[in-house]
Chain A
Amino acid sequence: MLRVAGIPAWGTYRRSGVLTRLAIGAVTLALAILLIVLISLSVGPVSIPVRSVASTLIGFVGIDVSDVSRTHELVIQQIRLPRIIVGAAVGMGLGVAGATMQGLFRNPLADPGIIGVSAGGALGAVIAIATGAAGLFFMALPLAAFSGAMIATLVVYGISTVSGHFSMATLLLAGIAVNAFLGAIVSAIVILLPDNGALREILFWLAGGLDSRAWEHVLMSLLPIIGGIGIAMVMARDLNLLILGDDEARSLGVNVVPVRLLLLAVGAMVTGVAVAVSGTIAFVGLVTPHVLRLLLGPDNRVLIPMSALGGAVFVILADTVARTVIQPAELRVGILTAFVGAPFFILLLIQNRGRGYSL
């Protein structure tokens, strides 16, 4: 293996204490986020020099460095920054939902998209828009998406444990079935709905992505997602024990049923909120925790916060590429994440063959 003199091999870090790994991961990922945000703010149809980006950001905190054009400031403030923050929130939410569900289902292939949780969130949101309920109050749309995601979670979880013990094959098959079923209902709603404002809103929303996300979407998503991540972090040690099995967790002092329900609800909530503001963005919840688990180990006290930061990196980066790669047209962010994520998923399936991975 390639070794640089004076720098210990990665394994040394992988095996260091929880706090060391947290610190290394947090510093690295925070720097990555900073760099990507600066780049993302500067590129686009209107190209803004990184210097002006920095000045604008400094201007926001009250220090006036007035060498930035008003247009640039508006582009950053009204268009790019909210979009990036929504992307970060969605990435954090999906990364943590993935890590949590992989632990709960004892299955590295669990992902909110694959097992149908995102589809449940999407259906909840579509129903809310179609019935006009989404306009009732500010948080109505995310709340509807959360409800849909929670119901889908419970259904999939119920199906995959119906034989008394948990089965990975059943989980994935239940995910396929639930995805197809919920997708069919969404399609039916779209077809049956008269061509009015609600239909156009649904179609725009179903297309997903982060274009024209504004501060209202930041308000809608950031707090619930950060709250959910906070709960998941507090429960991370219990999740470590749940991975070893219900008996193990109980004999080490975990109240298994309430803890599992709480974590399932957290997964559904962050997924639902993410879906409400961005549609379904695939594979973030699968790829992010996986890569980080290889680098930092499976301890959820490290994995969950790092999956939040890593998911943010993944989504912001994917969205930046998506909106700049074929300028002036834009790709949607989900295309990029799927482009990276789907081959990765297949790679995992190939690698795990024979190991069964009932985990």
Chain B
Amino acid sequence: MTAAVRAASLSVEGLTYTIQGKKLLDNVSLRAGQGELVGVIGPNGAGKSTLLRALAGVIEPSDGDCYLEGRRFVEMPARERARAIALVPQVAPMAHGFTCLELVLMGRYPHMGRFQIEGASDEDIARQAMRLTDTEQFAERTIETLSGGERQRVFIARALAQQPRVLLLDEPTSNLDILHQLRVLGLIREWASNGATAIAAVHDLNMAARHCDFLILLSNGKVISEGMPEDVLTAENVSGAYGVESVIYRDPHTDALALSLIGPSAGFPHRNRVKAP
């Protein structure tokens, strides 16, 4: 094990995940340290969710290892891992009848003994997490009565209530309005800056460029490019991975890297061309 692996909060080495003979992840390595927000970008089906699920210990890699603070996942009890790593899934699961507070309190389960029941301090932590994601007003409502974006924010609150050292988010802003996109990404940024590590799959490249410290560009399960946003987000990379022509510049208003999408690249194999009837 290298010194870099030990220093990183979360790292993977040579991660490969094969299912039904298909390599969904192919020799992926990454390291994320304390205070960092790492963005995972790439087209649909690139393997972003698969990578996050492996990092959360939800799926077992076919090859390669995941390390939390230098310890291999497989050497760690599931509950101990759950106290350190939280995952916000891409699609909020359905659980008819559970109130939002009950769901957020589930984030406290890994911290409670088997015969323990959540106490006042757990409820405080849960409500605080709900305030941060602007969902406290839904505390008593059952989850199925919420809109898609509201539901997504409840599950972000649950991950925060888990008080993880590593926060994994699979497209946490996909259903959010612009205000809540900014608030949630700001929140994750702040969470990371306070000593945690955050890894988020993000589709909006402008958001990714603006909020992430590092980016990893995945395509077909392989890392195509990684590094600072200005290194990864080049017109060449975007065209190569997504088949989209873009112009990349520094936005004078936000001082962040910004993309203008011109259109699909000529000659890129777009499979689903629309035919007029």
| Given A19-B117, A237-B109, A241-B109, also A251-B82 (CB < 8 A) | yes
Whether the Cβ atoms of B106 and A298 lie closer than 8 Å is no
A18 on the B face (CB < 8 A): yes
Whether the Cβ atoms of A253 and B109 lie closer than 8 Å is yes
Cβ–Cβ < 8 Å partners of B82 in chain A: 251-253
The 6 closest A-B pairs by CB, nearest first: A253-B82, A253-B79, A298-B97, A251-B87, A253-B110, A244-B93
Interface string of B73-91 (1 = CB under 8 A from A): 0000111111101110100
A298 to chain B, nearest CB (A): 4
Cβ–Cβ < 8 Å partners of A359 in chain B: 94, 96
Tell me which of B56, B94, B95, B99 contacts A251 (CB under 8 A): B56
Can you report 11 A-B residue pairs in the complex whose CB atoms are below 8 A from each other? A18-B118, A234-B114, A246-B58, A250-B56, A250-B57, A252-B109, A252-B162, A253-B78, A297-B99, A301-B117, A359-B94
Interface string of A16-38 (1 = CB under 8 A from B): 01110000000000000000000
Cβ–Cβ < 8 Å partners of A17 in chain B: 117-118
Tell me which of A11, A108, A297 contacts B102 (CB under 8 A): A297
**In this complex, what residue of B is CB-closest to A255?**
B78
The distance in angstroms between the C-alpha atoms of A94 and B249, with both chains bound, is 66
What 6 additional pairs, Cβ within 8 angstroms, besides A18-B118, A247-B89, A251-B86? A18-B117, A244-B106, A252-B82, A253-B109, A298-B98, A359-B96
Q: How many residues of A contact B (CB 8 A)?
A: 28
Interface of A toward B, CB cutoff 8 Å: 11, 15, 17-19, 108, 234, 237, 240-241, 243-248, 250-255, 293, 297-299, 301, 359
Q: How many residues of B contact A (CB 8 A)?
A: 34
Tell me which of A234, A245, A253 contacts B93 (CB under 8 A): A245
B37-82, CB < 8 A from A: 53, 56-58, 77-82
Whether the Cβ atoms of A250 and B109 lie closer than 8 Å is no
The distance in angstroms between the C-alpha atoms of A116 and B22, with both chains bound, is 37
The distance in angstroms between the C-alpha atoms of A240 and B83, with both chains bound, is 17
B127 to chain A, nearest CB (A): 13
The distance in angstroms between the C-alpha atoms of A110 and B57, with both chains bound, is 30
Cβ–Cβ < 8 Å partners of A248 in chain B: 89, 93
Chain A at the B interface: SS class: helix
Whether the Cβ atoms of B98 and A299 lie closer than 8 Å is yes
The distance in angstroms between the C-alpha atoms of A250 and B96, with both chains bound, is 20
Cβ–Cβ < 8 Å partners of B231 in chain A: none
The distance in angstroms between the C-alpha atoms of A19 and B122, with both chains bound, is 14
Cβ–Cβ < 8 Å partners of B87 in chain A: 247, 251
Cβ–Cβ < 8 Å partners of A253 in chain B: 77-83, 109-110
**In this complex, what residue of B is CB-closest to A254?**
B78
Cβ–Cβ < 8 Å partners of A19 in chain B: 117
Whether the Cβ atoms of B57 and A251 lie closer than 8 Å is yes
Cβ–Cβ < 8 Å partners of B204 in chain A: none
Cβ–Cβ < 8 Å partners of A301 in chain B: 117
**In this complex, what residue of A is CB-closest to B111?**
A253
Tell me which of A240, A247, A297 contacts B53 (CB under 8 A): A247
| Given A237-B109, A250-B57, A253-B110, also A244-B95 (CB < 8 A) | yes
Cβ–Cβ < 8 Å partners of B98 in chain A: 240, 297-299
**In this complex, what residue of B is CB-closest to A357?**
B96
A332 to chain B, nearest CB (A): 33
A291 to chain B, nearest CB (A): 13
The distance in angstroms between the C-alpha atoms of A298 and B110, with both chains bound, is 20
**In this complex, what residue of A is CB-closest to B99?**
A15
The distance in angstroms between the C-alpha atoms of A244 and B102, with both chains bound, is 12
B161 to chain A, nearest CB (A): 11
Q: Which of A19, A253, A359 has the most CB of B within 10 A?
A: A253
Whether the Cβ atoms of B102 and A247 lie closer than 8 Å is no
Cβ–Cβ < 8 Å partners of B81 in chain A: 253
Cβ–Cβ < 8 Å partners of B124 in chain A: none
B236 on the A face (CB < 8 A): no
Cβ–Cβ < 8 Å partners of A250 in chain B: 56-58, 78
Whether the Cβ atoms of B118 and A293 lie closer than 8 Å is no
**In this complex, what residue of B is CB-closest to A234?**
B114
Whether the Cβ atoms of B117 and A241 lie closer than 8 Å is no
B224 to chain A, nearest CB (A): 26
The distance in angstroms between the C-alpha atoms of A240 and B110, with both chains bound, is 13
Cβ–Cβ < 8 Å partners of B95 in chain A: 243-244, 298
B15 to chain A, nearest CB (A): 17
**In this complex, what residue of A is CB-closest to B102?**
A299
**In this complex, what residue of A is CB-closest to B120?**
A17
A25 to chain B, nearest CB (A): 15
Whether the Cβ atoms of B96 and A247 lie closer than 8 Å is no
The distance in angstroms between the C-alpha atoms of A251 and B78, with both chains bound, is 8
The distance in angstroms between the C-alpha atoms of A16 and B118, with both chains bound, is 12
